[in-house]
């Protein structure tokens, strides 16, 4: 009999896992179930080029329909209501039941929603999928006012995209600085300067109490009494992993679905990949949950191999990126726990520099703005746990390719 693999979630991880199954020799059925009317698509452009009007929904597709057809990968639009591990079946919200031999959980994440008076008004949006971005785009008009609640990467990327279209942009951040949760003060100061130079008004240490208007948003009111005109409100205050199905099915969960180094859960017939997973990272010697496309892709490959009985350990270095204005930020590694930050370049006046994070004399992360060479070097140093003299990193008279010359 033909074996069947069901993939829950038409995500980045699913887009990699499904064809990787074929590459690893899976000859059975592959069914991908997603709740959107699209095959897997690139999500990072939603807050960047798509919101700016430079890309269409069709152009976001990770792979073509012809590719999936050629590889006999079937898509089913629907929502999974439950998993029965004993019977190895899933049930859809319409009552339909499907059996599986292997199950892959690629359910990704969703926006963290806030409870605010006026949060249901027309013109108040979150940004996670195509429908969200299309909804925002309907309100984008030159000289209109947009208030972005949240000064993380999504909020700042959205600010960049909307400012480029002539909107008056205000960013409100509850913390004392933008990007406070994810980066050092030096990087926060840099992006504050850049956005201010571009005409964005950033307010930190400020809490929103309500959004007002009759049927459509008109103002954002803060707890200190300040008010900001708002024809559009975009809320970006983080995301949550989609783990509810796993919890209900008795699959081990702790800040994500727990997987081993082969992306297998505590059920040998169920793998998981992407934003919804929590794995042990040997480079940092701790369990982590990553919200990144590279992680989803790499875990998708490992999970596919495991389904086919092949052991391919997942041990990738985390990396990320953010596009704002003419700046490409590339991040290598995780900076939590750093005790020293070294800057290469002039972050006070230029739009190109690199920040290197050290812990106990070892490079653990780097954030590189328009510095691709420093980014690639950092990935190598961190992944291979090489040593490098911090003083050499700050010396721009030394070419990047020569930085490791006397440190290996």
- How many helices (H) and strands (E) would you count in the chain? 9, 26
Sign of CA dihedral 332, 337, 343, 344: negative
Q: How far is the CA of 377 from the CAs of 183, 237, 284, 320, 341, in angstroms?
A: 20, 32, 18, 15, 17
CA pair distance 81, 248, nearest whole angstrom: 10
**pLDDT, average across residues 135-142:** 96
> Which pLDDT tens digit goes with each residue over 52-105?
888 888 999 999 999 999 999 999 999 999 999 999 999 999 999 999 999 999
For residue 408, name the pLDDT band (cuts at 50, 70, 90): very low
**pLDDT, average across residues 233-242:** 96
| Residue 52, pLDDT score | 87
Orientation of helix 153-163 relative to helix 185-197, angle to 10°: 20
Q: List % helix, strand, coil for the chain (3-state, nearest 5).
A: 25, 30, 45
Cα torsion 335, 154, 60, 129 to 10°: value is: 120
CA pair distance 257, 273, nearest whole angstrom: 9
| Residue 406, pLDDT score | 59
- Three-state secondary-structure class, residue 382: helix
pTM above 0.75, yes or no: yes
Let me know: does 165 contact 146? Beta carbons within 8 Å. no
CA pair distance 226, 207, nearest whole angstrom: 10
**pLDDT, average across residues 318-326:** 95
List, in order of start, the domains of the chain with CATH numbers.
Answer: 4-110+241-307 (3.50.50.60), 124-235 (3.50.50.60), 326-402 (3.30.390.30)
Burial class (CB in 10 A: 0-12, 13-18, 19+), 398: middle
Q: What is the DSSP letter of 379?
A: H
Cα torsion 371, 322, 204, 170 to 10°: value is: 120
What is the helix (H) or strand (E) element at residue 73, kind and residue range?
A: strand 73-77
Let me know: does 116 contact 19? Beta carbons within 8 Å. no
CA pair distance 98, 31, nearest whole angstrom: 10
| Residue 1, pLDDT score | 62
46: pLDDT strictly greater than 50: yes
For residue 404, name the pLDDT band (cuts at 50, 70, 90): confident
> Which pLDDT tens digit goes with each residue over 7-20?
999 999 999 999 99
CA pair distance 192, 195, nearest whole angstrom: 5
CA pair distance 318, 302, nearest whole angstrom: 15
**pLDDT, average across residues 5-34:** 97
- Three-state secondary-structure class, residue 33: strand
Measured CA angle at 385 (ends 380, 388), to 5 deg: 80
Q: What is the mean pLDDT of the chain?
A: 96
In the chain, how long is the greatest CA-to-CA distance? 68
Let me know: does 344 contact 363? Beta carbons within 8 Å. no
> Which pLDDT tens digit goes with each residue over 178-210?
999 999 999 999 999 999 999 999 999 999 999
For residue 405, name the pLDDT band (cuts at 50, 70, 90): confident
Q: How far is CA 296 from the centre of its chain?
A: 9
Contacts 24+ apart (CB under 8 A), 378-386: 378/332, 378/333, 378/354, 379/317, 379/319, 379/332, 379/333, 382/283, 382/317, 382/332, 382/333, 383/283, 383/317, 385/283
């Amino acid at each position: 009999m033909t074996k069947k693999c069901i993939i829950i979630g038409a995500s980045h991880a699913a887009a990699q896992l499904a064809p990787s199954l074929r590459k690893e020799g899976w000859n059975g059925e592959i069914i991908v179930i997603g709740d959107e009317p699209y095959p897997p698509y690139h999500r990072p452009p939603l807050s960047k080029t798509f919101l700016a009007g430079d890309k269409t929904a069709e152009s976001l597709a990770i792979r073509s329909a012809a590719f999936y057809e050629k590889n006999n990968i079937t898509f089913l639009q629907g929502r999974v209501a439950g998993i029965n591990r004993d019977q190895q079946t899933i049930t859809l919200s319409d009552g339909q039941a499907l059996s599986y031999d292997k199950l892959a959980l690629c359910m990704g994440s969703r926006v963290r929603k806030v409870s605010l008076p006026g949060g249901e008004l027309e013109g108040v949006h979150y940004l996670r999928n195509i429908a969200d971005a299309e909804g925002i785009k309907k309100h984008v008009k030159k000289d209109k006012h947009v208030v972005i609640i949240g000064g993380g990467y999504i909020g700042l990327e959205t600010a960049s995209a909307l400012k480029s279209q002539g909107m008056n942009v205000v960013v409100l951040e509850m913390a004392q600085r933008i990007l406070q949760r994810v980066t050092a003060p030096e990087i926060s100061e840099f992006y504050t300067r850049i956005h201010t130079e571009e005409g964005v008004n950033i307010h930190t240490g400020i809490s929103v109490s309500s959004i007002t208007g009759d049927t459509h948003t008109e103002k954002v009111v803060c707890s200190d009494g300040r008010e900001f005109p708002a024809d559009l409100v975009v809320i970006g205050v983080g995301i949550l992993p989609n783990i509810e199905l796993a919890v209900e099915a008795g699959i081990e969960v702790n800040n994500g679905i727990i997987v081993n180094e082969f992306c297998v859960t505590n059920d040998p017939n169920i793998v998981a990949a992407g934003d919804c997973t929590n794995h042990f990272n040997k480079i940092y010697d701790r369990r982590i949950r990553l919200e990144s496309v590279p992680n989803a892709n790499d875990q998708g490959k490992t999970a596919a191999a495991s389904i086919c009985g092949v052991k391919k350990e997942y041990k990738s270095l985390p990396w990320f990126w953010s596009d704002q204005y003419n700046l490409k930020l590339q991040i290598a590694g995780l900076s939590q726990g750093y005790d020293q930050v070294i800057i290469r370049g002039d972050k006070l006046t230029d739009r190109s520099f690199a920040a290197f994070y050290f812990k106990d004399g070892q490079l653990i992360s780097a954030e590189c703005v328009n510095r691709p060479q420093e980014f690639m070097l950092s990935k190598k140093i961190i992944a291979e746990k090489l040593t490098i003299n911090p003083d050499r990193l700050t010396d721009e008279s030394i070419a990047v390719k020569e930085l490791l010359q006397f440190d290996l």
